[in-house]
Amino acid sequence: MAEALRIGIAGLGTVGASVLRVLTETAVELKRQCGRDLVVTAVSARDRSRDRAVPLGAAEWFDDPVELARQADIDVFVELIGGAEGAAHDSVKAALEAGRHVVTGNKALLSRHGVALAEIAERKGVLLNYEAAVAGGIPVIKTMRESLAGNSITRVFGILNGTCNYILTRMEAEGLSFDACLKDAQRLGYAEADPTFDIEGQDTAHKLSILTSIAFGTRIAPDDIYMEGISNISQADIRAAAELGYRIKLLGVAQKTDSGIEQRVHPTMVPTASVIAQVHGVTNAVAIETDILGELLLSGPGAGGNATASAVVGDIADIAKSRPGFQHGPVFGRPAKELKPYKKARMRSHAGGYFIRLTVYDRIGVFAAIAKRMADNEISLESIVQHADGLDSSDSKTVILVTHETTEAAVRKAVDGITKDGHLIDKPQVIRIERAD
C-alpha cells in the first residue's frame, strides 16, 4: 500500500473544522477509496486555544501558515483562510513553489491570482484543486473541466450565492424584511465574514470569473464584471414578479456574444416555471449550455461547513489517488500560459427583456409619456399596466412595464428620458429578464 498522504490545513474556522471532522469520521472509507491513509499532520489557525470540537490529534501546530506551507512535512497544503491577499495568497504560493499540491476553497484568491498560481502549479507538476471555491458542494469544476471536454460552452449561468438565494426565497415565501433574512443567513453560517460581499454580488462575481475562464478558455477577468446586488430588491418587486410569472434570483451569467464575452451579476427575473426558479434557500445551481450536450443543470448545497468540506475532501482524495510522475490536467482546463486574453462585451450592448417598475404621479398624460419614451427608443412592450399596489396613495401610482428583447442602451435612454420628464416620485427600478427553460 502507498504511503499515507500527509495533509496540512491552514484555517480552522467553520469549513476547516468540518474538513477535519469529515477526514476523521470517514478515514476508513477514504482509505478504501484512495488506497492509502489520509492523515492531517500539520495545522495552523489564528487562535490555538479555541475549542473547535474536533480533535487535532498529533498534528503539528504552526502559528504562521506560510511557515506550514514551506516547512511542514506534508504532501498537500489545504488553504481555508480566505481573502485574496495576505496569508492566503502567500501560503498558497509558498506551497506551490515548494512543490506541494494545494487544495483551496478561496474564490477571491483564485479570481485575483488564479492564473499566476496555475502557472506555478503547472510548472511544478502539482495539483491546484479548488472545487469548493464555486457553488460549495456542487462538482461544477470537475464537470466543466473533465466531463464536458470536447463541448463548446456558449453560456453558463447560475445561483452562486447561498446567502442571496436564502434571503430572496424567504422574502418571497414569508414576506419578511431583507434585514431579518440576512441576520438568519449569518447565524446559520452561510454569509461571508463581510456580508456585503454576498448581498452586493462580489462573492458571485468571484465565482463567475472562475467559471468564465474554464468555459471560454480565457484569462480570469475579475474587474470586467458588471455587478448589481440585491439590497434594493423590495417586496413590491417580488410581488410584481410573481404576478407576471417570474421569480427574482441573483444570477451570475457568462455568455459569448458577437462583440465579446458578457460577465454580469445582477438580480434577474426568471420564469417561475423554469428549473432554476425552483432552486430555493441556500441551494446553488449552475446551468451550462453547450453545443453537443445542450443544457445541463447542476444544483445542490452551496454554502455552509458541510457542503464546502465535501468538496474539499473530494479534492484531497483526488490527490491521494494521483500517482507521482502522473501528468496532471491544467488547472483551468487549458494550460495557464495558453489562456486567451479576455474580450469584454459592453454592457450597453446586452440584449434581453426588461422589467421596469415606476412610481409616478397620478395625473393625465403620464402613461402616454412613458409609452412615447419607449417608442422613441424602439422598445417593443410586452405589457404595460398601472399596478394596484398597496403602497400606492391617492397621488401616486405604480406602472409596471415588461419589454420584448431590446438593448441595455435603449432601456437606459428611455428610463433617463422618463426621469427627465418629471413624472417619477421615486427611483425607477429596472430588472433584467433572463432566458431560462
Is 207 part of the annotated catalytic residue set? Answer: yes
Of 148-156, 174-182, 187-195, 246-254, the segment contacting ligand HSE by CB under 6 A is: 187-195
Query: Among 106, 85, 281, which Cα is nearest to 209's?
Result: 106
Residue number, 41 or 209, with CB nearest to ligand HSE: 209
- Rounded to the nearest whole angstrom, what is the least distance from the CB of residue 135 to ligand HSE in the complex? 8
Contact between 302 and ligand HSE per CB under 6 A:
yes
Residue number, 43 or 250, with CB nearest to ligand HSE: 250
- Given a contact cutoff of 8 angstroms between Cβ atoms, the answer to whether 347 and 226 are in contact is yes
Count of residues interacting with ligand HSE (CB under 6 A): 11
Contact between 303 and ligand HSE per CB under 6 A:
yes
Torsion angle of the four alpha carbons 188, 193, 195, 198, in this order, in degrees rounded to the nearest 10: -90
Q: Looking at 198, 228, 237, 408, which residue binds ligand HSE (CB under 6 A)?
A: 198
Query: Among 381, 165, 416, which Cα is nearest to 268's?
Result: 165
Site residues for ligand HSE, window 151-180 (CB under 6 A)?
A: 161-163
- Rounded to the nearest whole angstrom, what is the least distance from the CB of residue 207 to ligand HSE in the complex? 7
- Rounded to the nearest whole angstrom, what is the least distance from the CB of residue 282 to ligand HSE in the complex? 7
Burial of 70 (C-beta count, 10 Å sphere; 0-12/13-18/19+) = middle
- Rounded to the nearest whole angstrom, what is the least distance from the CB of residue 223 to ligand HSE in the complex? 20
Q: 170 φ, ψ to 5°? A: -70, -35
Contact between 317 and ligand HSE per CB under 6 A:
no
Residue number, 171 or 236, with CB nearest to ligand HSE: 171
Q: Write down the residue that cell numbers 468538496 correspond to.
A: 311
Contact between 190 and ligand HSE per CB under 6 A:
yes
For the range 190-195, what are the long-range contacts, defined as Cβ-Cβ under 8 Å and sequence gap of 24 or more?
190/162, 190/163, 190/166, 190/282, 190/303, 190/304, 191/163, 192/163, 193/82, 195/163
- Given a contact cutoff of 8 angstroms between Cβ atoms, the answer to whether 160 and 205 are in contact is no
Q: Looking at 75, 79, 131, 203, which residue binds ligand HSE (CB under 6 A)?
A: 203
- Rounded to the nearest whole angstrom, what is the least distance from the CB of residue 198 to ligand HSE in the complex? 5
Neighbours of 114 (CB within 10 A): 27
Neighbours of 74 (CB within 10 A): 23
**DSSP state letter for 330:** P
Residue number, 284 or 398, with CB nearest to ligand HSE: 284
Q: Is 283 helix (H, G, I), strand (E, B) or coil?
A: strand
Active-site option among 93, 207, 249, 256: 207
- Rounded to the nearest whole angstrom, what is the least distance from the CB of residue 107 to ligand HSE in the complex? 6
Of 22-30, 149-157, 188-196, 427-435, the segment contacting ligand HSE by CB under 6 A is: 188-196
Residues 6+ apart with CB under 8 A from 372: none
Spatial distance between the Cα atoms of 333 and 212, rounded to a whole number of angstroms: 11
- Rounded to the nearest whole angstrom, what is the least distance from the CB of residue 162 to ligand HSE in the complex? 4
β-pair type (351-361, 429-433):
antiparallel
Q: Looking at 79, 122, 192, 224, which residue binds ligand HSE (CB under 6 A)?
A: 192
Contact between 359 and ligand HSE per CB under 6 A:
no
Q: 42 φ, ψ to 5°? A: -150, 145
Q: 203 φ, ψ to 5°? A: -65, -40
Site residues for ligand HSE, window 122-141 (CB under 6 A)?
A: 136
Q: 51 φ, ψ to 5°? A: -85, 115
DSSP bridge partners of 432: 268, 354
- Given a contact cutoff of 8 angstroms between Cβ atoms, the answer to whether 129 and 102 are in contact is yes
What's the start-to-end Cα distance of the chain, in Å?
Answer: 49
Catalytic site residues?
207
Q: Which residues bind ligand HSE (CB under 6 A)?
A: 136, 161-163, 190-192, 198, 203, 302-303
